[in-house]
Structure 1
Amino acid sequence: MLHPKYHWESLQTDEDKARLLSDQLNISPLVASLLITRGIRDLDEGKRFLYGTLADLHDPLLMSGMKEAVERIRAAVENGERILIYGDYDADGVSSTALMIHLMTRLGANFDYYIPHRSKEGYGLHIHALEQFYESGFTLVVTVDTGISAVEQVAYANSVGMDVIVTDHHEPPSKLPEAFALINPKLPYCSYPFKGLAGVGVAYKLAQALLGGDTPMEWTELVALGTVADLMPLVEENRLIVTYGLKSMGHSAFPGLTALLSVAGSIKEQVSSTNVAFGLAPRINASGRMSHANRAVELLTTSSAQDAELIANELDILNKERQLLVENIVEEALLQLAAKEAAGHLPDVIVVAGEGWNVGVVGIVASKILERYYRPTIVLGIHPESGECKGSARSIPGFDIYEALTHCADLLDHYGGHPAAAGMSLPKDHLVNFEQRLGEYATDILRPEHFVPTMLTDIECSLEEVTLPVIEQLEELAPFGMGNTYPRLLIRGVKLLECRQMGKEGKHLKLNVSHNGTSIEAVAFGKGELAPLLANESVIDLVAEAGINEWNGSRKPQLLIQDLSISHIQVFDYRGARYPIVKLEELVDKLLHLPSYELRTMATVLSDEVDGLNTSDLKNTPLWVYDNDAGVNPGNEIAVVEGADAVKTLFVLQLPESSHMWNRMMERFGSLERVFLLHPMRKDHEKVQSPSREQFKQVYAVLRQQGYNPIAQEELIVTLVGRTGLSRRMLELTLEVFEELDFVTRTSGTIILNESPSKQPLETSSRYRELGLLAEMEQMLLHGRIPQITEWMHNQMQGQGA
């Protein structure tokens, strides 16, 4: 067995609507079904989803505050006022700032921009910055991707005669700043139809409102960058703008994006949302995390290809430094959590803090810890001198981290964000109380089911349906991202033909799976550690994305596995290994490196002492010894302590001498999920065959020829081997049957044939019946193919359950 990492939930589709949509749009039923699961209800919505244009965008003047903002900016431009663009340091804020710079340049405005330093100043509007620009004669401030919670800062600006136009997309607090205009589709009184815009999306709507049809199409590239980077849902307006932005990036008008695509290793003509999310966004973010975001703004606003190449390489280096820094902080954070676990408690909301941790990367660290523990996570960097703690939070579905922070607002100096991610600052002295309050709040919100990650599957299909034409049609649903993920296919009952690790240190898996004659290669990135748990010819259920593998002009389907499970007991074939103890140690070591695998869940079974066992590491492994009555008994102290119920993984070093022992063992280890066969193969003189009447007649005939005088058993067996061709062990067991039926008498190593035996059918002998079962067991475990053995064991366990 192999348990999936996620709980799988299938999206429901309406087959009748899907068939209708398939006919109306002339698309495959599979794509039509996927549209239905994405909320497309009719033909018009389907057309907009697949074939929408920028003309389908909503009128920006529908957004509350937009009209006032447009009038104020135009007046400022006409009057030559100095305008300040105030942005944020993440990729969305950088994109927003760059777009606003291009807008102000196009309007001919007198402007400058400001982005606070992430670690020195932190998020949001700062009065000291406003003071600086007020003294320099600035009279209008336009925020991008920030400002919706800046009550005090806007009040200061108002007091000195500076007007503030806030454009933002973050969750509005209960008390709003008294700005000249507030533009945020999430404002409760704003009737704008789409609420999911990124900060750069709101800035783009302002540009549309000011320029109308003259808004350059290439600006959608900046919107695409910020929208994807900020994990905004790629639906409705976002989907339209990002689609056009990605197409435009293929022949970008921005030297900075061209240079950045190059250092990220992306193919310029085939830019996807994945390239943006994992290639461009991390490098843009690295500027603000490791240095100052101004450098990223310069990249997106320069007209010089030479300057762009220089800056792009700088950001690439910063990103590599960022990756190393993240790894170091994650290690320190995990040590803190290990100490909490050792103390017996892992909190529902994880809070870790470290002195000197770079606050520019704590959000990434929080994401990595959440992925490992699947709990809401807050990571804070503590300033070594001031004691101020600045951090980031990442959360799980069902737990609104912004609301949780609001519950602790009296402990915080500042906070803001979304239900899934947020930022905050607080004094070091409040840390203990902060963690306690979050835990108390979580107790009323979180239930056991919240801690099991869920993976949504779009549609269940067979392996045969995953063809090149179907995969090409799936691409029609792009761009993929939040709210419009790449279709996840649930495929059940495929057979594993081959499994091998690949990549550096074997971190990834490459599988070959088949069903009804169709075979497809599958890749599972980051799952290389599962290789010891995947037995060839296992039957697998998997959740996968379908892609196309192109190599040397050949194109063929390929699955990208997201999760997989095996519902039956698995059997791993190491029969006849030359050094079984060494192989056993190797397997145990691999399993112990996997999450949730402990020595207590493993057992090694044998019939007697094995050479080398006392000197091996297995002295710390639960050992069990075959027993005629109980099946198996504990063979060492750890087996006594842990018991049989804990055993999920069984290593068979030797076979038992009877099927009864095997059956009782399987019954006792009722929670088995996998069995590793490491026993030696039987030699010819130990071979047991399924007994037949003809074999017994042949043996009895030889006995009659020997007469009724005592004969040494060893001499008799040598004669019988030569005359019957049966193995020595088979003959010994046959003589035991004859003895039970009173055909012979055995005393002191001699055998005497009884002259007047009682006439009893062979089938009445318990040893005859056991011999048949023993032959069946050994034939299966010694010579059976793994699928046969797997089914045999499965049936045994099912019979016990019945």
Structure 2
Amino acid sequence: MFESKYSWQAPAGTEDTARSLAEALSVSPLTAALLASRGIGSVEEAGMFLNGNLEMLHDPYLLLGMEKAVLRIQQAIENGEHILIYGDYDADGVSSTSLMIYFMRHLGVSYDIYIPHRSNEGYGLHNHALDWANQQGVSLVITVDTGISAVEQIAYANSLGIDVIVTDHHEPPEVLPDAYALINPKQPGCPYPFKGLAGVGVAYKLAQAVLKDPPVEWTEIVAIGTIADLMPLTGENRILVSRGLECMRHTSFQGIRALMEVSGISMGSVTSTNVAFGMAPRINASGRLDHAGSAVALLTTEDMDEAQRLSHALDELNKERQQVVEVIVQEAMMQLQGKMSGGTVPDVIVLAGEGWNVGVVGIVASKILERYYRPVIILGIDPETGMCKGSARSIPGLDIFEALTSCKELMEHYGGHPSAAGMSLKREQLPAFEEALNHYAASVLTADDFTPVTSTDGEWRLSDVPLSVIDEMEMLAPFGMANPVPKLIFRGTQLVELRKMGKEGKHLKLVVRQGGARIEAVAFGRGDLAELLEEGMTLDILGEVSVNEWNGSRKPQLMLQDMKITGPQVFDLRDSKEPWGEIQRIYDQVAPYMRLDHRHIAAVFNPRIESSPKMDLNDCTLWVYDSKAGISAFNDAANTYGKDHITTLFMVHVPDSADQLDMLLGSFKNLSNVFLLHSGRNKAEQLTIPSREQFKLLYVLLMRLAAEPIREQEALARLSQQSSSTLRMVTMMMDVFEELSFIERLDGNIVVIPKPPKRELSSSIHFSALGSLAEMEQHLVYAGTSQCTSWVISRLEGAS
């Protein structure tokens, strides 16, 4: 069984709401169901969701601390004070800082900006930066996307006579800083209705409070930060991002125009997906590998030449970032292998390395989480100071901010969200830190939490998604967090066509059919699965529908996210040159799709052909053919795990008999995948299913040849030639004659018994065994793929 990588979670209990919405809004059942699954239960709510505008934004003065902050800014304007905008180095921080620059320019005030260097300084407000601000004559600091945890630093600012207004959206700590004003919708006692603003969203609300109607084009910057920081695209965020994307399609910002160009984005059709995967990584690259100031300069420049230069520089940084990430991922994976005792992955993966660029450790954490589906913390170690700075990414079952809070005494600093966080700690605290996190996780997580889950928008048929419905679904855009691109399940589709595509065949293109409807499906980066699929297979698929436009033609297309093949599967990889290496390659390739770990795998081989396996998967179970029991355990893993966990079998050699094959298949009660890696026999050794006529002919030839005793090897060779049967076939037929007392074997000779007893061929055990073995080898060794795999499946189903 080819399992889906994820457990597909369908929305529950929205059918009645969807029906009423479809009727009231005159939309398709699918579009109505999508609205209902997003929590929209009435026509009024649907109107807000689909037609929200800037006039519907909440009053910024509902934010606790806003009135005090506005009065202080107005005082600074009147007194001609020098203001410092203190930002952060990620895309949200860059966007927030850029927005505040436009705000300061609009107000015509004296200002500076300060963004800490990710590697040299780390996250948050720093005393040395406040010292510098004091030297510059700053009397008011406005933080954006940071500050809510800066208790000591803001106390220091107060001692210098500097007022601090904090605008932030991160989770507030138990003790809040004594700032002049704190603006954060998540802080205790804040009545603001929408808690999901990004840092740039909070900064925008400050500008809105002061100006009442900020320039509409500022929403472009809000959109970039909100999308990049993975904030929910619901409520106010949806309004701000929608308006921002609309403005971006005819942007007057030179930097945004240049950034879209270098990202290969068509300005007239920019989407939230373009921002997330095209623009945001390049903005983030500045803070990861250099200094975020270059990204701020890009978003705030009014010079097109400078915008072009800066955008190309960010593009090069992003390419460098990709290479750096790949190197660290490889090193981290090797380190993790050393921690996986008995193949068991820790509940929380904590990895640290000298020289690992702290600017990309969050990306590395995401990649390792995707591979192992565990909370992951990756830290870069400064070899001189011993300080570790890192990033965490978590799974839904573990609130990583709460987990870090449980061991806060081990860290110098930490902060973040339930799914992502950052921290710094001393090197000597690493073992205790890892132990504490795993102890906490063990008390919170259950086995179900380690099964990857993806939310879907239910089961549909291909006929439910014509072009008109796909176009209609666009009214739900922009898509992102809390309003994801719809993922639809299509069950029981038949695979009609299959081919690799792209450079080096890295991608997969399928055509599937369901009833009278067909659709093309593309799976990026999944070309390696082509050899595991066959035309005619029945697939359950999960995908995102879109429109493929080419040369003026438009047709539905499915972007494949996941797939599943139900029932037992047999994969024909016969005649593999290095079968043991093939097992390792297949495991690495398909483990996520078959939900495998080493205890689920069995490899069986013939010890007479190969005394010991040549493979690295020492923790998988190894078995050898046994003439009495069918198979017997070969390694410690087989003895430890036993047979009940086995779902996937690698057959390295052909069984000695059909009975042995049935005992093999019957030994593993939960077997659903069989990979055939054995060699095909030489035609010179082929057996045929024996017939009476064949035995009669051979007996006549034997009587002529062996009137006197004859050396067996000579007789076999001559009989093989005269009967046109292989030497192996003739040898096994001699076993039948001997069992039936037609011949005797004496001292290497064959002696024909003149008057043998009358016995039926069918009474011979050797005759039945020869027939069964010939049939098995005919299907298992010599048949084509379709006939071979169908026959093994029938034996597998019979064994179960």
Q: TM-score range by the shorter chain?
A: 0.7 to 0.9
Name the counterpart of 2:123.
Answer: 123
SS at 1:650's partner residue?
strand
Q: Residue type of the partner of 2:23?
A: D
The alignment status of 1:439 with 2:430, answered yes or no, reads no
SS across alignment from 2:200:
helix
CA contact (8 A) 1:607 1:654 kept: no
Q: Within 5 Å, which residues of 2 pair with 1:123-272? A: 123-212=123-212, 214-272=213-271
Task: Give the equivalent residue in structure 1 for 2:711.
Answer: none
Structure 1 Cα separation of the partners of residues 781 and 427 of structure 2 = 65
State how far apart, in whole Å, the 2-side matches of 1:153 and 1:283 are: 31
Superposed, 1:300-319 pairs within 5 Å as 300-319=299-318
Residues 167 and 199 in structure 2, CA contact (< 8 A), matched pair in contact too: yes
Gaps of 5+ in 2: 708-713, 745-749
Q: Quick check: 1:11–1:456 contact (8 Å CA) kept in 2?
A: yes
Amino acid paired to 2:130:
L
The aligned amino acid for 1:547 is S
**5 Å matches for 1:333-482?**
333-341=332-340, 346-482=345-481
Cα pair distance change 1:703/1:168, threshold 3 Å:
closer
Question: Given that residues 584 and 617 in structure 2 are in contact (C-alpha distance below 8 angstroms), is that contact kept between their aligned partners in structure 1?
Answer: no
Check 1:681–1:642 CA distance in 2 against 1; reply closer, same or farther (3 A cut): farther
Give, as a single letter, the amino acid of the residue that structure 2 aligns with 1:189: G
Aligned to 2:320: 321
The 1:604/1:418 distance shift into structure 2, 3 A limit, reads closer
Residue 690 of structure 1 contacts residue 776 of structure 1 at CA under 8 Å; is this kept in 2? no
CA distance in 2, matches of 1:661, 1:562: 40
Does the aligned pair in 2 maintain the 1:710–1:752 contact within 8 Å? Answer: no
One-letter code of the match for 1:245? Answer: G
Residue aligning to 1:527 = 526
Q: How does 1:708-727 map onto structure 2 within 5 Å? A: none
Residue number in structure 2 paired with 1:544: 543
Report 1:558-707 matches (<5 A): 558-573=557-572, 580=575, 582=577, 584=579, 587-588=582-583, 590-591=585-586, 593-594=588-589, 595=591, 601-603=601-603, 624-625=624-625, 627=627, 630-631=629-630, 645=643, 648-651=648-651, 654=654, 659-672=658-671, 673-676=673-676, 680=680
| Deviation for aligned residue 1:43 | 1.0
Superposed displacement of residue 95, structure 1: 0.5
1:49 is the counterpart of 2:49: yes
My pick for the range that moved more, 454-463 or 639-648, is: 639-648
Alpha-carbon distance in structure 1 between the residues aligned to 2:407 and 2:698: 92
Deviation at 1:465, TM superposition (A): 3.4
**Residues 209-238 of structure 1: CA distance to partner in whole angstroms, max 9, x if unpaired?**
2222x3221111101100011111111111
Tell me how large the CA RMSD over aligned residues is. Answer: 4.3
Contact 1:644 1:668 survives alignment (8 Å): no
Distance 1:662 1:387 in 2: 58
Contact 2:232–2:482 at 8 Å: present in 1 too?
Answer: yes
The offset of 1:111, in angstroms, is: 2.2
| Distance change (3 Å), C-alpha of 1:439 and 1:515 | same
The secondary structure found in structure 2 opposite 1:326 is helix
Corresponding residue number in structure 1 for 2:90: 90
Query: Gaps spanning 5+ residues in structure 1: where?
Result: none
Q: Displacement of 1:399 after TM fit?
A: 1.6
Give the distance between the partners of 1:619 and 1:143, measured in 2 at CA. 53
Q: What amino acid does structure 2 have at the position aligned with 1:7?
A: S
CA distance in 1, matches of 2:311, 2:389: 28
Pick closer, same or farther for the CA change 1:649–1:256 going to 2, 3 Å: same
Q: 2: distance between equivalents of 1:243 and 1:383?
A: 42
Residue 293 of structure 2 aligns with which residue? Answer: 294
Counterparts of 1:269 and 1:38, CA distance in 2: 28
Distance 1:685 1:215, change over 3 A: closer
Pairwise CA distance, 1:783: 8.5
Indicate if the aligned counterparts of 1:35 and 1:46 stay in contact, CA closer than 8 A. yes
Q: CA deviation at 1:410?
A: 2.4
| Partner AA of 2:585 in structure 1 | K
Relative to 1, partners in 2 of residues 1:343 and 1:581: Cα closer, same or farther, differing over 3 Å? closer
Letter in 1 for 2:381: I
The TM-score, its normalising length taken from structure 1, stands at: 0.84
Alpha-carbon distance in structure 2 between the residues aligned to 1:339 and 1:423: 25
* Equivalent AA in structure 1 for residue 254 of structure 2: P
| 1:651–1:678 contact (8 Å) kept in structure 2 | yes
Counterpart Cα distance in 1 of 2:197 and 2:405: 23
Aligned to 2:12: 12
Q: In the TM superposition, what is the alpha-carbon distance from 1:93 to its structure 2 partner?
A: 0.9
> Aligned partners of 2:762 and 2:791: how far apart in 1?
24
Deviation readout 1:447-483 (Å, 9 max, x if unpaired) = 2222222222221123443433333333332212111
Amino acid at match of 1:217: V
Matches of 1:356 and 1:574 in 2, distance apart?
Answer: 42
Q: CA deviation at 1:36?
A: 1.1
| CA apart distance, 1:497 | 4.3
Of stretches 582-591 and 678-687 in structure 1, the one that deviates more from structure 2 is 678-687
Q: Which amino acid in the other structure matches residue 86 of structure 2?
A: Y
Relative to structure 1, the CA distance from residue 385 to residue 519 in structure 2 (aligned partners, 3 Å threshold; closer, same or farther) is same
Q: State the 1:201 CA deviation.
A: 0.6
TM-score normalised by structure 2 residue count: 0.84
**Matched residue type, 1:334:** M
- 3-state DSSP class of the match of 1:217? coil
1:39: Cα distance to partner?
A: 0.9
Looking at structure 2, the residues matched to 660 and 382 of structure 1 have their Cα atoms a distance apart, in angstroms, of 59
- Quickly say closer, same or farther: Cα 1:211–1:571, change in 2 above 3 A: same
